[in-house]
């Protein structure tokens, strides 16, 4: 199998919010170029606490995966407090 046929994934585990308010834009900028750096990569984000900033995490997922502002993040952003959802999302792409 050649490198072009391999699926590429990044699983981003986080508390779901930057430490400082000014880091929101830095975070968005860091992931926005992912598809240029590693084309075809799919980023999954898992918020590991019940205090996860859902809006922030959905924006990170959209920017990293080249999605539009209103595109669904279902299956790409998972609240990690629900183990069943995490397993379902990660297993869906392995078939």
pLDDT at position 94 over 70: no
Contacts of 63-70 with CB under 8 Å at 24 or more apart are 63/28, 63/31, 63/32, 63/34, 64/10, 64/12, 64/31, 64/32, 64/34, 64/35, 65/34, 65/35, 66/35
| Residue 40 φ/ψ region, left for φ over 0, alpha for ψ in the -120 to 50 degree band, beta for the rest | left
pLDDT at 17: 78
Tell which residue, 32, 91, 89, has the closest CA to residue 66.
32
Give the pLDDT confidence of 30-86 residue by residue, as tens digits: 888 888 888 889 999 988 887 888 898 999 999 999 999 999 998 898 887 667 777
pTM: 0.77
């Amino acid at each position: 199998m050649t490198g072009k046929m391999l699926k590429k994934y990044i699983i981003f585990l986080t508390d779901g919010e930057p430490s400082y308010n000014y880091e929101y834009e830095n975070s968005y900028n860091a992931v926005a170029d992912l598809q240029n750096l590693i084309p075809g990569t799919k980023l999954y984000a898992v918020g590991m606490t019940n205090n996860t900033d859902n809006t922030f995490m959905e924006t990170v997922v959209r920017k990293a995966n080249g999605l539009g502002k209103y595109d669904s993040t279902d299956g790409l952003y998972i609240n990690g407090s629900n183990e069943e959802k995490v397993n379902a999302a990660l297993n869906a792409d392995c078939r």
